[in-house]
Structure formats: C-alpha cells, structure tokens
Amino acid sequence: MPGPLAGIRILEFSEIIAAPFAGMLLSDMGAEIIKVEPLEGEPWRLFAPFVPTESRTYISLNRGKRGLTLDLTKPEAREVVRRLVPKTDVVLVNYRPDVPAKLGIDYESLSSLNPRLIYCDNTAFGRKGPHAHRPGYDVIVQGLTGLMALEGKSLDGVPVFNAHAAADYSTGIMMAWAVCAALYHRERSGRGQRIDTTLLGSALAIQNTTFQLVESVDLEWRQRLLKRLEQGRAEGQDYEELRAYLIATRPLQAIGNIHYRVYKTRDSYIVVGALSASLRRKLCDAIGVEDRRIGDPDWDPTKPASREYAAALVAEAEAVLRERTTDEWLALFDAKGVPAGPFRFTQELLNDPQVLANDLQATVEHPLAGTVHMVGAPLQMSETPLAVQGASPALGQHTDEVLSSLGYAANEIAALREAGAVG
C-alpha cells in the first residue's frame, strides 16, 4: 500500500540535520527524495566517516533518498536543475541565506520554472533583523534562544551546550509539517508557495512556556531581571551567578519537587511524572509519604518554613525510593496508577520490546556500510502506512539514473562528468 505522499517528488538541497531530517520524514511518507550534494559530498558525510564518505550521522538522516551529485557553480549542473524543477513538487533548501541565489536555486528562479512549486527554505535566524546575514548552527541558536541555559549545565562557570540538537531536529519536523500543509493548499488552490522556517523560530516554539510573559503577574519581575542581568554582565559576573539569580526570583518555580523527576532506586533509576493533584496523591500513597501542599491554595512556597518543609520532603522521598528495585517500584506504581518508567540510555533500546512491538526499529542494507539498524517511521496511518524506503544513498549513487530520467544520453552524461558538472 503506497504512503500518503506517494507520487510527490522532492528536490533536496541540504546539509547537516534540519532539512535532511525533514526529507527523511517525507520519504517515510512515500515521497521520492532526490538529494543534491556537491561532488565531494555534504559536510555530514565527512564527519568522522567509518568508510570513505560514509558517516553514522549522514546515514541516520538520509535514508530512503536518491543521491545526485552536482557542482552548482557549473552552468551544465544548473541546467540539470532546470530540467528537474518542472517535474518537481517540493524543494527543500538548508543553506546560508546568501547561497541559494548564488547557485541559482532561490525561490524566484525556481518558481518561475514551475508556479506550482512548493519551496521550503530554512535559515538559522530568518531573513530580517540584525542576525539575518549570519550562518548558524544548532549550538549558536541554543545560546541565542536560552535553550542552552534551560538545564543549567556548566563547566567552570561556562554554559555547556545540550548534546541533542533540539533546534535542528524540531526544525526538521516543522519543515515536514509545513510541506504537507502546503501540498494540501495546492490541491485546493492549484498554487505553490514559499515556506520560511528558522532554527530560531523552532527553538522558541519548543520553549513557549519559558518565553511567555503574563503582564499582570510577570512584568515587574522581568524588568528587575533584565536590569540585574545587565548589571551583572557589566560587573563581569559569571554564568552561575546570573543563573542563580534567575532561579531564585523567577515566578512559579517548582520548589521541593517530588512528583516529576528521576529517583535512584536500589539497583538503578526510575522516572516519575505525576503532574495533577490526583496523581500526586497516588504517588504519595504509593511511597508512603504525606505532602501537605497538595490542594492547599494558601501554600506560600517563598516562606523559609515552606522551603525547609520541601527540602525535608524531597529527602524523605529519595530515601524511600532507594529501598526497592526499579522493577519493584514499577509494579507498585502500575498497580496504584502512578505514571512511571525505567531510565534507559538510547543504546539500550535497539532491541527493546516496546520499541519492537511498535515497529520503531528499521533495518536497511547500505551499499557500502552493509546492514544498518535505525529508528523506524515515527508514526503510522491506517490507510496510507509509512515505511522506510531504503538506506541513505552512497555519494552520487543515483546520478546517472536521475540524469537518464531527464533525457540525458550516455555520451551526454559522460560529457557532464568530464566537465566536472556531475560526480
């Protein structure tokens, strides 16, 4: 049974994470993805390769695609793009803001060849504002948007970036989501359009509660905070001091949290998430502690006595959780209706029964790397099921195949290769 995007052709000019991830998700939905790379391959291929031009990072983000190598500085290579675009539904672009126009793959150039074209362009910061001209990576956007400060990790007083590229991956999802919406709009209107996504926008979107300001209760606090941060930076205060002030003064902070956290058990760790009052009561009942704060509208967490009570409650809960194994606690929490789960490292999940039962692992055969096990399609649809379409392409693997489909004869392909336009 074909996927929901069967028959859709997507031309992907991409590198690193965001757009490659978007293209991979759309491939799982059945779209044909033609990934265009420079002759030497995109940078992620060359990051810690285990065989020439093949790295784990590249393979993990580019499955199910056809690989086409073009030197877009050559007019012959641009002609290949001009032949492809009229037969293309979607273009994904993930380059620095100034690059598409220099290579002739900007929206204006390509949409003139195909008015029904959907063009999804991702930049780090958007095309307006003081940062618009800058190239950017996930780590830079983490720093700019506060993502890096969210968990408070630091080394010798210097913020440490989050190892998971949250801005990149969330942007990939945003791009795939927007493309599907634009395809639906085109079905109704017959018109293509341009989509602009940004790492900046995605990073803020996944922090919407932290970003939010309720003027009636937060405005005075924010004004004090901004003044304090400005003063602290002027005085050379380090990150730890500035963040400590933020934590100590921010509204509605969770003090003495026993209900949404990780606990050490007798043999491992367990994760508990009990956000509602009824679930918190179930947790307290299960572990045999009393939390007088539940359901008390007059409880003031800022009072010294309240802080002492919270600290003592945390210590009591931690001591109780250490008395049994993780499996023992999970059995009890299941019986009591308390949301909980074991703590795992990602590497432990390859053959996890829950992962396998939900078809979240896929196995593909790579032409150079051999058998590769990877995350499968992240969702399913009853009438148009998603499926992994194959491994990531070897560098330029489908170049001749794509060129032949555009009407290039064997001698013409040889001439393009001789001219250095294709790989």
Residues tagged active-site: 168
Decide if 168 contacts 199 (C-beta within 8 A).
yes
Write down how long the chain is: 423
Q: Give residue 8's identity as a one-letter amino acid code.
A: I
Collapsing DSSP states into helix, strand and coil, what is residue 303?
A: coil
DSSP per residue, 58-124: HHHH-TTEEEEEB-TTSHHHHHHHHHHGGG-SEEEE-S-TTHHHHHT-SHHHHHTT-TT-EEEEEES
Decide if 13 contacts 92 (C-beta within 8 A).
yes
Taking Cα atoms as reference points, which of 357, 341, 144, 171 lies closest to residue 262? 341
Taking Cα atoms as reference points, which of 155, 75, 83, 88 lies closest to residue 116? 88
Judging by DSSP bridges, how do beta strands 90-93 and 9-13 pair with one another?
A: parallel
For 341, the enclosing helix (H) or strand (E) is strand 340-342
CA–CA separation, 236 vs 242, rounded Å?
Answer: 10
For 116, left (φ over 0), alpha (ψ -120 to 50), or beta? alpha
Decide if 338 contacts 271 (C-beta within 8 A).
no
Decide if 92 contacts 34 (C-beta within 8 A).
no
The Cα diameter of the chain in Å comes to: 84
Taking Cα atoms as reference points, which of 257, 328, 49, 89 lies closest to residue 187? 89
